[in-house]
Chains A and B, each alone.
Chain A
Amino acid sequence: MALLVAAVGGAAGLSLTALERNINLFFSPSQVQAGEAPDGGVFRVGGMVVDGSVARGEADLSVNFALTDTAATIPVAYTGILPDLFREGQGIVALGAMRGGVFVATQVLAKHDENYMPPEVNQALQAANRGKYGGGDSGAPSLP
């Protein structure tokens, strides 16, 4: 019985420690610009890919684009193959860290549904709009 309790306690402690180390917080571009995101630490950022901002490298698979929540815009750099549904004007979530003012992404996620807006992105957009128009939910313009 004591063995059982010790094992369960150990497992719980282990999970919580591991959980603490592997949580990825989410920030909107506004929050990143305001310096709320950890500098150099890994976190997620989400927003819409700015129209006309996607620029690809000539020789490799590097790509740069701008991500916005309509109030603030941050530059993102990524190397690799983008998901099928990555396009300009589409809501995406990227995992990575800030390096010298650029968000260097290790993973870019766009869900497989043209109408899908990642919930975090939707919320970030709404928050940004509330700030801009000074009103509550009803005052915000409807979002795509």
Chain B
Amino acid sequence: MIPELGHFALILALLMALLQAILPLYGSFANIPAWVAVARPAAYGQLLLVALAFAGLLYAFIHGDFSVAYVANHSNSHLPLLYRISGVWGGHEGSLLLWSLILALWSGAVAAFTRHIPDRIAARILSVMAMISVGFFLFMLLTSNPFARLIPAPAEGRDLNPLLQDIGLAIHPPMLYAGYVGFSVAFAFAVAALLGGRLDAAWARWARPWTNIAWMFLTIGIALGSWWAYYELGWGGWWFWDPVENASFMPWLAGTALLHSLAATASRGAFKAWTVLLAVCAFSLSLLGTFLVRSGVLTSVHAFATDPARGLFILIFLGIVVGGSLALYAWRAPALAAHIRFAPLSRETALLINNVFFGALCFAVLTGTLYPLILDALSGAKISVGEPYFNFLFAVIGAPLALCIGVGALLRWKRDHIARLRRQLPAAALVSVGAGLLWPLAMTHHPYSLNAGLGLALGCWVMVSALLGLRERSGGWRWRNLAHTPRSVYGMTLAHFGVGVFIIGVTFTNAYSVEKDLRMARGETVHLAGYGFRFNGVSDHRGVNYDAARGELVVSKSAGGGRRTIALYPEKRTYLVQKNPMTEAAIDAGLTRDLYVALGEALDGDQVWSVRIYYKPFIRWIWLGALLMAGGGLVAATDKRYRRRARSAAGEATAVPPQTAGQAAAG
């Protein structure tokens, strides 16, 4: 009964979304206020209905209703409650429902927090978002119904994939989707502006906090995925350039470009058409990412053929969204052209360079991800693009990007002077180069690493110049100035600081990691990177829904007497339903190093095992950097300037706070 109610709620949600898509849009052009006023209540209604449908599926999961095919395929009565809940989005159909729920949540939020935007524009935005909802509801109802019954019902479910039975992956999809779907707001803003044919600086200011929040969620989602891969897959890697990862990374790159381009549009009215195009791209890439991962096309292009209805729907939907918005863009964008003058040395130029870099990175990932798929579809040739391709391009494009961040953060709008930079930058450069040269000498356990030195120099450069940028824009380090500095400046500083932390984390992990696959007998001790690892053998262990062989390794410092020891318990699990073995690594995490051990397999009875022992310095800095970036996005989104009502266009160009310009000269 409950699943049928859920199914019914989903159908009603589709009807409500249709209403929300058509009436307000028409009303906004035909000047019918009553129809325009439908937008907000319809958005709330749609949210309520999708929430009901989601609750229906959640209920079926919690109560283990295996007569629902989707539940039977992704749950089991022995599954712990947490994973019965996260099982809702553990497969294709439920993921789509989660996607729709999050889209409805964003629509509801737009309806609730756009009181300062003229009703007609808000109505168009909500209407565009509803069109996307319609697409997803239709996809679910026509090809991927999560409520489809399985008669006769099996006595037991097939269980959730053991890899997904993990807290990191329970919260990773909601975060990621919140980011993906969040870009639909920027997209809807862009399409609404194109439809209306007008786009001013106020538009960009309204769109900024939404884009910031979406970007923050996406950043957290990607970082969670990376962290999960690190500890759960048992290889100790944090990024594999797997197509699934790339699918989430491309919208992030486009979204990052969008954030920066929006800054120029909001403050100076520059790059309007380009900003709109980026908003379209970021969301289109989000859609592409969702479908790449969910359609199974990555495992095989021919997965499309196993369910032609789904494949066809996806292609048509993508075609309508991307093609439609690009056609609208081609038609309307000439009207957005603005001739804002700025000097070659100015913040506008810096933001433009940022966009060029991020565009190039996004293009590189897109090429590396789609090329094998396209080649396979066209000629049947099986190729794969190796990690060196991505690593090479990101090093070559990323290093100059990092150099530019430092300068860009300091530049002023319109025109800046090289003499001013000459006063500020040498000190930052000296600190960075000095740190980069000296630090590798301090790493006594390792040979001198030029790459680590370069990474540290770049990281310091970004961090120091981020702080210089804060001083520049607040007008000095006095408390009174700092208190009056807009939140968006703090957000930027925090995010750029995070970039520096991230760069240091990546390069140090690469340069200084020690990884050993070893054959270890019980009682044997190996020494690695200044630590001694003693293997105390393996014992049997019983989990809630798995059996495990649990190893014990005792770690102590090789030198200095070894007063403190750490016991690590890596496991080899066999889940009771899906009989696959699973490696559960044991990690001693720290700010400057992780110790990572994982069991391979028994080689000689129970006495000898193959064991992975990794020493991973500074790997936490990678995720710490990502968290700082996400935090920066959040802080910037709370800037009060974004929530002011629309004013005359003339006032917008000087949205930079007055004290910045005045006091910066003194600073």
* Complex interface residues of chain B between 335 and 394 (CB less than 8 A to chain A): 352, 356, 359-360, 363-364, 367-368, 371, 380-386, 388-389, 392-393
Q: Which residue of B lies closest to A15 (CB)?
A: B364
Q: A8-B360, A119-B299 are in contact. Are A24 and B384 (CB under 8 A)?
A: yes
Cross-chain contact B580 with A84 (CB below 8 angstroms):
yes
The segment from A33-41, A54-62, A67-75, A130-138 found at the interface with B is: A54-62
* Complex interface residues of chain B between 544 and 598 (CB less than 8 A to chain A): 578-583, 598
* Complex interface residues of chain A between 1 and 28 (CB less than 8 A to chain B): 3-4, 7-8, 10-12, 14-16, 18-19, 21-26
Q: How far is the CB of A109 from chain B (nearest CB, A)?
A: 10
Cross-chain contact A80 with B517 (CB below 8 angstroms):
yes
Cross-chain contact B612 with A81 (CB below 8 angstroms):
yes
- The 8 Å CB contact of A22, one of B161, B392, B518, is B392
- Does A85 have its Cβ within 8 Å of any Cβ on chain B? yes
When distances are taken between beta carbons in the complex, the residues of chain B under 8 Å from A120 are: 382
When distances are taken between beta carbons in the complex, the residues of chain A under 8 Å from B161 are: 112-113
Q: Which residue of A lies closest to B609 (CB)?
A: A81
Q: How far is the CA of A22 from the CA of B390 in the complex (A)?
A: 9
- Does B397 have its Cβ within 8 Å of any Cβ on chain A? yes
When distances are taken between beta carbons in the complex, the residues of chain B under 8 Å from A23 are: 383-386, 389
When distances are taken between beta carbons in the complex, the residues of chain A under 8 Å from B580 are: 84-85, 112-114
Cross-chain contact A81 with B386 (CB below 8 angstroms):
no
- Does B601 have its Cβ within 8 Å of any Cβ on chain A? yes
Total residues of chain B contacting the partner, CB 8 A: 43
When distances are taken between beta carbons in the complex, the residues of chain A under 8 Å from B386 are: 22-24
Cross-chain contact B363 with A15 (CB below 8 angstroms):
yes
Cross-chain contact A60 with B519 (CB below 8 angstroms):
yes
Chain A contact residues, majority secondary structure: mixed
When distances are taken between beta carbons in the complex, the residues of chain B under 8 Å from A81 are: 517, 598, 600-601, 610, 612
Cross-chain contact B392 with A26 (CB below 8 angstroms):
no
Q: How far is the CA of A81 from the CA of B396 in the complex (A)?
A: 32
- Does A102 have its Cβ within 8 Å of any Cβ on chain B? no
Q: Which residue of A lies closest to B162 (CB)?
A: A112
Q: A60-B519, A61-B519 are in contact. Are A7 and B384 (CB under 8 A)?
A: no
- The 8 Å CB contact of A21, one of B234, B389, B612, is B389
Q: How far is the CA of A23 from the CA of B383 in the complex (A)?
A: 6
- Does B328 have its Cβ within 8 Å of any Cβ on chain A? no
Cross-chain contact B582 with A84 (CB below 8 angstroms):
yes
Q: How far is the CA of A56 from the CA of B604 in the complex (A)?
A: 10
- Does B300 have its Cβ within 8 Å of any Cβ on chain A? yes
When distances are taken between beta carbons in the complex, the residues of chain B under 8 Å from A4 are: 352, 356
Q: A4-B356, A8-B359 are in contact. Are A61 and B518 (CB under 8 A)?
A: yes
Q: How far is the CA of A24 from the CA of B579 in the complex (A)?
A: 32
- The 8 Å CB contact of B600, one of A3, A14, A82, is A82
When distances are taken between beta carbons in the complex, the residues of chain A under 8 Å from B383 are: 23-26
When distances are taken between beta carbons in the complex, the residues of chain B under 8 Å from A119 are: 299-300, 302, 382
Q: How far is the CB of A20 from chain B (nearest CB, A)?
A: 9
Q: Which residue of B lies closest to A56 (CB)?
A: B603
0/1 string, B87-104, CB within 8 A of A gives 1: 000000000000000000
Q: How far is the CA of A12 from the CA of B600 in the complex (A)?
A: 42
When distances are taken between beta carbons in the complex, the residues of chain B under 8 Å from A116 are: 299
Q: How far is the CB of A23 from chain B (nearest CB, A)?
A: 5
Cross-chain contact B393 with A26 (CB below 8 angstroms):
no
When distances are taken between beta carbons in the complex, the residues of chain B under 8 Å from A26 are: 381-384
Q: How far is the CB of A80 from chain B (nearest CB, A)?
A: 5
When distances are taken between beta carbons in the complex, the residues of chain A under 8 Å from B167 are: none
When distances are taken between beta carbons in the complex, the residues of chain B under 8 Å from A64 are: none
Cross-chain contact A11 with B300 (CB below 8 angstroms):
no
Q: Which residue of A lies closest to B603 (CB)?
A: A56
Q: A44-B384, A56-B603, A123-B382 are in contact. Are A19 and B367 (CB under 8 A)?
A: yes
Q: A15-B364, A18-B393, A120-B382 are in contact. Are A8 and B356 (CB under 8 A)?
A: yes
Cross-chain contact B583 with A19 (CB below 8 angstroms):
no
- The 8 Å CB contact of B356, one of A7, A16, A60, A123, is A7
Q: How far is the CA of A59 from the CA of B604 in the complex (A)?
A: 11
- The 8 Å CB contact of B601, one of A18, A25, A44, A82, is A82
* Complex interface residues of chain B between 490 and 540 (CB less than 8 A to chain A): 517-519
Q: How far is the CA of A3 from the CA of B359 in the complex (A)?
A: 14
Of A14, A22, A61, A85, the most chain B CB neighbours within 10 A belong to: A22
Q: How far is the CA of A10 from the CA of B381 in the complex (A)?
A: 28
Q: How far is the CA of A12 from the CA of B356 in the complex (A)?
A: 12
When distances are taken between beta carbons in the complex, the residues of chain A under 8 Å from B356 are: 3-4, 7-8
Q: How far is the CA of A44 from the CA of B386 in the complex (A)?
A: 11
Cross-chain contact B389 with A19 (CB below 8 angstroms):
yes
Cross-chain contact A61 with B610 (CB below 8 angstroms):
yes
- The 8 Å CB contact of A11, one of B364, B388, B518, B600, is B364
Q: How far is the CB of B272 from chain A (nearest CB, A)?
A: 15
Cross-chain contact A11 with B384 (CB below 8 angstroms):
no
Cross-chain contact B519 with A14 (CB below 8 angstroms):
no
When distances are taken between beta carbons in the complex, the residues of chain A under 8 Å from B582 are: 84
Cross-chain contact B389 with A85 (CB below 8 angstroms):
no
- Does B330 have its Cβ within 8 Å of any Cβ on chain A? no
Cross-chain contact A7 with B360 (CB below 8 angstroms):
yes
Q: Which residue of A lies closest to B574 (CB)?
A: A84
Q: How far is the CB of B347 from chain A (nearest CB, A)?
A: 16
- Does B163 have its Cβ within 8 Å of any Cβ on chain A? yes
Q: A4-B352, A114-B579 are in contact. Are A11 and B299 (CB under 8 A)?
A: no
Q: How far is the CB of B299 from chain A (nearest CB, A)?
A: 7
Q: How far is the CB of B562 from chain A (nearest CB, A)?
A: 27
Q: How far is the CA of A25 from the CA of B612 in the complex (A)?
A: 29
- The 8 Å CB contact of B519, one of A21, A24, A59, A84, is A59
* Complex interface residues of chain A between 109 and 126 (CB less than 8 A to chain B): 112-114, 116, 119-120, 123
What are 30 A-B contacts defined by CB distance under 8 Å?
A: A7-B356, A7-B360, A8-B356, A10-B360, A15-B364, A18-B389, A18-B392, A22-B385, A22-B386, A24-B383, A24-B385, A26-B381, A26-B382, A26-B383, A44-B382, A44-B384, A60-B519, A61-B517, A61-B518, A61-B610, A81-B601, A84-B580, A84-B581, A84-B582, A85-B580, A113-B161, A114-B579, A116-B299, A119-B300, A123-B382
Q: Which 5 A-B pairs have the closest CB atoms?
A: A11-B360, A22-B389, A26-B382, A81-B600, A119-B300
Interface contacts beyond A4-B352, A8-B359: sample of 10 additional A-B pairs, CB < 8 Å, sorted by A: A8-B363, A11-B397, A15-B364, A19-B385, A19-B389, A22-B385, A23-B385, A82-B601, A85-B580, A119-B382
Interface residues of A (CB under 8 A from B): 3-4, 7-8, 10-12, 14-16, 18-19, 21-26, 44, 56, 59-61, 79-82, 84-85, 112-114, 116, 119-120, 123
Interface residues of B (CB under 8 A from A): 161, 163, 234, 299-300, 302, 352, 356, 359-360, 363-364, 367-368, 371, 380-386, 388-389, 392-393, 396-397, 517-519, 578-583, 598, 600-601, 603, 610, 612
